[in-house]
Structure formats: C-alpha cells, structure tokens
Structure 1
Amino acid sequence: MSLKNVLPAHIGFGSAPMGNMFRAVPDEEALATMNAAWDEGIRYYDTAPLYGAGLAEIRVGELLSRKPRDEFVLSTKVGRVILDELETGNRDLGEKGDLFANGRKNKIVHEWTAEATERSVEGSLKRLGVDRIDILWVHDIAQDFHGDLWVSKFEEARTGAFRVLSRLRDEGVIKAWGLGVNRTEPVEMTLALDEPRPDGFLLAGRYSLLDHEHALQRLLPMAAEQGVDMVVGGPYSSGILAGGTHFEYVEAPPDIVDRVKRIKALADRYGVGVKAAALQFSLAHPASAAVIPGATKPSRIAEDLAALREQVPVDFWRELREADLVSPKAPLPGGV
C-alpha cells in the first residue's frame, strides 16, 4: 500500500527527542509538546523502542492511548527488544554514542530475527497502550550502527523481520512496513530484492538541505520506479537547520556551519525562514510522503506548521541552486 494513502498529512511528529535525546526532558514538557502537536492537528506520530529505551513510546502512549484510535496514524520500529533488566555498563550505539544517555537504563537487545521482531512489536504495543500499530519500520540495519557487520544484520532482518512484517501486512494487522535507517544502502538493497516488498522507508538525515546528493544518485530513482514512498526524518539535520548546533547527532563541523550561514544569508535576503526552506525542500521530491521533525517545546509545533505553509519565492529556490547549495538533480518547490 502506498504510504501516501496511509498517512493523513505531509507532516508528522518525530518522537526521538521524547526519549531524552541530547538532554533530559521533563515529563510535563514532553506531554505539553505532544498535546500541542495534537491540538495543532498533527495526526501522524513516529516512535521507536530505541528512543530512551522505551521512554519515547511510553510518552507517546500517554497521549495517544487516550485518543480515538481511528483518528491518528502510528508508526514504530522493530529490531530492539527492551528488557526489564537494567544496564550496568555503557551502551554501544555505534556512531550515535551516548545520544540517549538520559533515557531509561533498561537493557536493549539488538536483534532482527523473526522471534525478536514479534517480541519487539508486543513490547511496543504494551508501552504505547494501543491495540494496533499502522506502520512498522525495520530500524538501523546500517553502517552507522554496525560498521562492516551491517550486511550480516541486513541478512538477519531479510530472513526474519522482513518476512514477519510482510505477513502482518498481508493479514491486515498492519497497513505498511519498510526500513527506518540513516543510510541509503540498506534501502537500495531491499528495493533490489524480488521479495519481500516494502511499502516505503523512513530515511533520517539523508534527504535534507544539507545532505541529499547520495540519496538522489540511486535510491530515489529506484523508489520512484517502484512506486515506493519516503518519510523524511531529521529534516533539520539534527537541529543545525533549526537554530541548533548539532549535525549528525554531534556538534556541527566548521564546513557545515559555514554552509548553513550561506543558506541563512540567502534566506534572510528573501525574507524566508530556514525552517521553511528545510521542510519544503524535503517534501518537494515526488517520493516524499511526509516529513517528521522532532520537538521538545510546544512552541516548536506551531513554528513547524507555519514553516510548512510559508510562501517561499521561486527565485529563492532558483538562487539556492545557482549558488550550488542544493544538487542540480534535486526537485525544488515550484517546479524549479
């Protein structure tokens, strides 16, 4: 099923910050942010067991378990089973380091077998307090978590998670499934398979104003050819495009800081918000079904929606391309 037929709108709520990403978010602030998202009309919510070792799912569930189930679309991820047992050593989250150091201390089992996939879904349903999940993403079977071992993890998922999720979709238990990753190669490998067939993919950080060239080379042409849709995660590139200092989950390097300054200078000249440029760029590709920025403050929700509605002059996009700040292959709003 096309994700565009499943998702209620072009913007959703990315809940990684609800897992205390980067900082400890007070419960009242987290709930206020999610209530603001609901009150502003957001009806698509994405989460994952990894985010704070279940914390984000628990918080998202505090909101959604009290809402009519047919009024929202919910996605979460498989590949991590959260245990009641507590972690005593340091977590190994690959390139993401101690990203969720302020989350819960529960042990996380990283496994993509059929049995682990079913346990992951059961755990998510319990933490979320809902009776069903609409979309399930196979989480992080990529180089950033596993280095050279990522292909073996992909194979584990291909013979395990992929088949379980295909069965759940065919039985009508879920509406769609795909990959939720920060790299393009696993999605390309999946699209090259004869079976199982995904419905879409959640690509985090790889189709933003600052990083999109690689996705345009092979992945997105394959997706367009097969009619597979993309949800864009991380449209602000970990915050640097929203006034923050992080890029790829760490402090932004000087070349990225300089590139953002150039984008901002051009945006200022046209009276355009950088957030508007970031969100509208990510949605301009025909494969884009939705964008899911994260937030930890209620005010950010209104900002995101305003950015989506903002009128951006066609000449801004044209000059952005002329300044070599976006790829010549990237579709731009207004047909530029």
Structure 2
Amino acid sequence: MPLKHILPGKLGFGTAPLGNMFRAIPDEEARATVEAAWDQGVRYFDTAPLYGAGLAEERLGEVLSTKPRDSYVLSTKVGRVILDERETETSDLGEKGGIFEHGNPNKVLHEWTAEATERSLKGSLERLGTDRLDIVWVHDIAQDFHGDQWLQKFEEARTGAFRVLSRLRDEGVIKAWGLGVNKTEPIELTLALDEPQPDGFLLAGRYTLLDHEHALTRLLPMAQEQGVDMVVGGPYSSGILAGGTHFEYQQAPAEIIERVGRLKALAEKHGVSIKAAALQFSLSHPASAAVIPGATRPGRITEDTAALNETVPAAFWADLRAAGLVSPTAPLPHGA
C-alpha cells in the first residue's frame, strides 16, 4: 500500500533521541516529549530497536499504550535484535558508534535473516506494548560493509527480511514495508530487483538542505517511476540545521558549518526560520510522504509544528537557488 495512503499527515516524530542519543535524557523528559507530540496532533511515530538498545521503543510504548491504537500509525525496524545479555564490549555501529552510549546496556545482534527478523519483530511488539505494527523498515542494511561483504549482507536481507515482510504485508499483518537507511544505494538496488517490491523507504539525512544531489539524480526518479513513497528522516542533518553541532552523527566539519551559516543568513534576510526551510524543502519533492524530525524536549515539537505551517516567501526559495545552496533541479515550494 502506498505510504501516502497510510500516513496520517506530513509531520511525524522520529524517536532516535529517546534512546539517549548523544546524551542521557530523564524518563520524565522523554515522556513529556512524546505527550507533546501527541498534543500537537502528531499521529505517526517511528522507532527502532537500535535506538538505545530498545530504550526508545520502551519509552514510546509507555505513552502510546495509553492511546487508542487505531488513532496513530507506528513503524519500527528490523536488522537488530536486542538480547537479554549485557554488552561487555563497545558496540560496532560504524558511523553511529557511540551515539547511544547512554542507552540500555543490552547486547545488540546485527542480522537480517528471516529468523532474526521474526525475533526482532517479537521483541519490538513487547517493548512497545502493542499487538501490531503498521510499517516495518529494514534498518541500515549493509551500512558499514564494503565490497563482497556488502553484497553478502544485502543478499542476507533479500532472502530473509525482505521475504518475511512481504509475506506479512500480503497476509495483512502489516500495512507496508521498506528500507530505513541513510544511504541511497541499498534502496536503488532493491527497486531494481525482480522481487516483491517495498511500499516505500525511510531515507535519513539524504534529502535535506545539506545533502540531496545523489538522491535527486538516481534514487528519486526510480522511486517516482515505480510509485514508491519516501519518508524523510533526519531533516536537520543530525541537528546542525536546528542549532546543534552534529552532522552525520559527528561534530560538523568546517565546510558544513560555513554552508549552514550561509543558509541561516539567507533565512534571516527573509525572516524565515531555518527549521521551516529545512522541513518544507524536504517535503517539496513529489515522492515525499512525510518528514520525521526527532526531539527530546516538548518545546522542540512546538517549533517543528510551527515550522511546517510557517509561510515561507517564494523569494526565499528563489534566492536559495540563485545562491547555489540547493540543486538547480530540486523541486521547491511555490515552484521557485
């Protein structure tokens, strides 16, 4: 089923920060943030076992279990199984290494086989306190592998997770499935397969004001041709576009800081918030079904809602293109 027929609105809530991403967040602050999202009308929530080794799912489930299940859309991911045993070594998460050091101490198994997919789903349902999921993403497939190993991991997912999720969709257990990644290549390869096709994909950090060229050139034309929708994750590029200091899960390099400075200067010239520019840009592509910024403070939810509804003048988008800060082929609001 197309994502645009499933998702209840353009703004969802990404829960990676609830897994103690970058910092330890008090339980009451996490709970208040989810409640704030609900009060602001957000009805799509995305999570994953990886986020704090199950912590984000637990925190999200604590709040959503008090809400009518038919009133919201819930997605989580497979590819990581949370074990009962404690992790005794530093988890190898590649570029995401260390960002969940304040999460649960459980060991995380990285596996995309059919058996691991079933185990992952079972664990997520328990942590979320629900009896069903709406959308399931195959998480970070082959993200930190290269060459033949990359293809081996992709094949593991193709013959494992992909087929399990296709079956569950066909049986009506879930409404849709796809890939949840921050690289475009796994999605491109999946769309080229002669296999049951995904309904959409969650692309994190690759359709933002700071990084969108590759997706525009290769992935999104394929997606549009096949009628596959995109959920945009990480619209603030790990926080650098929302006043933070991280880009791609690390401290932002000088060239990114300089580019963000140019974006902010142009936004200030037109009286536009940088959050509004970021969210509305990511949603302006015809393939975009929703955007899911993350947050750990209730006030951030209010900011995101305001940014989505803020009136951004066409002159701002025109100046953005003229300054070379977005691709000349990127769709922009107002057709600028």
Q: TM-score, normalised by structure 1?
A: 0.99
Counterpart of 1:268? Answer: 268
The residue type equivalent to 1:18 in the other structure is L
Distance (Å, rounded) in 2 between the aligned partners of 1:296 and 1:146? 31
Distance (Å, rounded) in 2 between the aligned partners of 1:196 and 1:277? 36
Does structure 1 residue 179 correspond to structure 2 residue 182?
no
Q: Note the 1:204-283 alignment, pairs <5 A.
A: 204-283=204-283
What CA deviation, in whole Å up to 9, does each residue of 1:275-302 have, x standing for no partner?
Answer: 0000000000000000000000000001
3-state DSSP class of the match of 1:50? coil
3-state DSSP class of the match of 2:178? strand
What CA deviation, in whole Å up to 9, does each residue of 1:175-221 have, x standing for no partner?
Answer: 00000000000000000011120000000000000000010111000
- Structure 1 residue runs of 4 or more that deviate by more than 4 Å after TM superposition: none
Counterpart of 1:287? Answer: 287
What CA deviation, in whole Å up to 9, does each residue of 1:8-28 have, x standing for no partner?
Answer: 000100000000000001101
The residue type equivalent to 2:321 in the other structure is R
1:142: how far off? 3.3
Q: TM-score, normalised by structure 2?
A: 0.99
Counterpart of 2:15? Answer: 15
1:66: how far off? 1.1
Does structure 1 residue 109 correspond to structure 2 residue 106?
no
Does structure 1 residue 154 correspond to structure 2 residue 129?
no
Counterpart of 1:91? Answer: 91
What CA deviation, in whole Å up to 9, does each residue of 1:50-75 have, x standing for no partner?
Answer: 00000000001001111100000000
The residue type equivalent to 2:107 in the other structure is K
The residue type equivalent to 1:280 in the other structure is Q
Does structure 1 residue 81 correspond to structure 2 residue 81?
yes
Counterpart of 1:52? Answer: 52
The residue type equivalent to 2:145 in the other structure is H
Does structure 1 residue 307 correspond to structure 2 residue 325?
no
Distance (Å, rounded) in 1 between the aligned partners of 2:311 and 2:40? 20
1:95: how far off? 1.4
3-state DSSP class of the match of 2:84? strand
Distance (Å, rounded) in 2 between the aligned partners of 1:211 and 1:135? 26
What CA deviation, in whole Å up to 9, does each residue of 1:97-124 have, x standing for no partner?
Answer: 2110000010111110101100000000
Note the aligned Cα RMSD (angstroms).
Answer: 0.7
1:329: how far off? 1.1
What are the ranges of 5 or more consecutive residues in structure 1 without an aligned counterpart? Answer: none
Distance (Å, rounded) in 2 between the aligned partners of 1:286 and 1:164? 29
Does structure 1 residue 191 correspond to structure 2 residue 191?
yes
1:96: how far off? 1.4
3-state DSSP class of the match of 1:186? helix
3-state DSSP class of the match of 1:48? coil
Aligned residues: 335
3-state DSSP class of the match of 1:146? coil
What are the ranges of 5 or more consecutive residues in structure 2 without an aligned counterpart? Answer: none
1:332: how far off? 0.3
Distance (Å, rounded) in 2 between the aligned partners of 1:15 and 1:146? 25
1:335: how far off? 1.2
User: Is contact 1:142–1:183 with CA below 8 Å preserved after alignment?
Assistant: no
1:35: how far off? 0.5
1:164: how far off? 0.3
1:146: how far off? 2.4
The residue type equivalent to 1:125 in the other structure is L
Identity %: 76
The residue type equivalent to 1:110 in the other structure is H
Counterpart of 2:317? Answer: 317
1:153: how far off? 1.0
